[in-house]
Amino acid sequence: MSERYVGMVSVRKRGVITLPAELRRRLRLDEEGTRLEIFEREDGVVELRPSVVIPADQAWFWSARWQTMEFEADSDVEAGRVDRANTFGELIEILDDRE
């Protein structure tokens, strides 16, 4: 495994450390309440791993398949590949025109 970030952090009072801003942004650790798992390995290395707590009833949204579909939908919206309807009738007309 290649190392992507190498740097130093200081341990302050009560064991507080600050992760470098560039690392927090890249790993999306910026939000308050972000959790990290800590592992102490037998060789003395301490690892911090991002931990995402997802409620069971929302797990479907975070599946690889659903995230792929979300990305595709966002791309379509950004590229203007969408139709908008203000009423149910307009929606039916749009769908009928596609046939």
Given the candidates 3.30.70.260, 3.40.50.2300, 2.10.260.10, 3.40.50.300, the CATH classification of the domain at 13-51 is 2.10.260.10
Model confidence pLDDT, tens digit, residues 55-86:
788 889 988 999 999 999 999 999 999 999 99
pLDDT of 2 reads 60
Is the entire prediction scored with pTM above 0.75? no
Pair of tokens at residue 79: 């590229």
Domains of the chain by residue range: 13-51, 56-97
Main-chain dihedrals φ then ψ at residue 45, nearest 5 degrees: -80, 135
Q: Alpha-carbon distance 49 to 1, whole Å?
A: 15
Query: What Å distances lie between residue 48 and 24, 30, 71, 91, CA to CA?
Result: 12, 15, 28, 49
The β-bridge partners of 35 are: 51
pLDDT of 65 reads 95
Model confidence pLDDT, tens digit, residues 4-62:
788 889 999 999 999 999 888 888 888 778 889 999 999 999 999 888 778 788 889 98
Pair of tokens at residue 6: 């190498």
